Structure 1
Amino acid sequence: MQATGQWQRESRRLQQWPYAAGSKVRLFVMAGHRNMEGERAFVQDLANLPGGSKLLESDQRVACRYSLGGGYTVSDGWEPLGPFGEYGTFGPELSFAAALQHSGVQNVAIAKFTHSGSQIIDWTPAGSEAKGRNLYPAFLEFVRRSVQDLRDRGHEVELAGICYHVGENDMSWGPFRKGAPERVLSLVRAVRQDLQQPQLRWYISQQAPPDHESVNRVDVLSVMSEVLAG
């Protein structure tokens, strides 16, 4: 429909650049799979939650750029933070940025890179046998470009952290569930090395994994905590 002119994606423009010239910008990267992308989180539902209506509004104080669905939906440079999912969906970046601002963190920028159909192995430097699904090079370049663009605008940039939500599909199959902690660790190590930031903070989140006898023998929550702590 977009190609025929019957439907046009809403234009999302920053009214003005939100950060003072030469100021320090704190960049947070949001990354992950289906739930980080917000595949089934719809704006209609958000409007009915306490405080949700406020999150539906474009926040001109926070610049945001994104690549969703493995590059299916890409921002037009930096846009104001707000719901930008292709099908009226949104992700955790809305409440995350609001919580940061509520706690007094200023000059926040968000860069979001997701692929709802990916597995954790697709994010690792080695990737899987399906080389066309390897996301690591594109993800690394996305982070680098986000940082460099802010620097080109005259800002000091603090890459304040990468928030990665663990893939849900991996938790439903024994071999992938067992391999998830080491694969996440390989991603963390590679990004720190390639960006030359050995102390770069990662915030790993995960939903409660599926409760099924075929996978319950793998205590993925405990193993994930042990591997990442080590």
Structure 2
Amino acid sequence: MKESIATRVTRIVGGSLHGLLDAMEQAAPEAAMAQAIREVDLAIDEVRAELGKALAHRHLAESNRARLETRHGELAAQIAVAVARGEDGLSRAGIAKQLDIEAQQPVLDQAIAAAVRDGQELESYLLALQAKKRDMEDALRDFIAARAAQQRGPVGGGGADTSAGRVEQAEAVFGRILARETGVVPAAARADAAEAAKLKELAELARNHAIDERLAQLKAGREG
């Protein structure tokens, strides 16, 4: 999920209606509030789009997870036949494929969990933005009613600069938070070519050992 969305929603929802009303007194109220509400609408559209992506990612990960589980079961049945016939080569090939599948499953589980978390967070953002929009619309109605009752028009002045300064200061704070939360982590030191080759050989050795162990377990289970 884009961090900019979280920052934007926090700024909008955390913004003070009193500050907006102060700004409205120094400009055309309807225009000022309409612009503010348009920003909320744009944020709502953006959150909805990201929510759709999160749901799509979750569906894709769950579909892949189910497909791998089905394939793992099919391989188990095929391996059992190969073991019964003493076809160690075929059995090893099937077990190797099972290990590949098992290596992917935790990653898919993490992807599903992340998509669920993102979806829940985005749904909470959507509700918060919709509530904020209702508050702004209520504030606009109250402001217009109070102004009509007092028979007072928009007041000119230099307060707009103060309002702009408050917005700039708030966005600077959120910018620092964003920079802190998304700071670049120094890249880990890379192994040299010789060390990388040794690590690859070690991984292959461990993989072959796992295959041999599972084949031995299947044979032992059949003999028992």
Under TM normalisation by the shorter chain, which class is it? under 0.3
Pick the structure with more strand per residue: 1
Pick the structure with more helix per residue: 2
TM-score (normalised: structure 1):
0.21
Higher relative contact order structure (alpha carbons within 8 Å, sequence separation ≥ 6): 2
TM-score (normalised: structure 2):
0.21
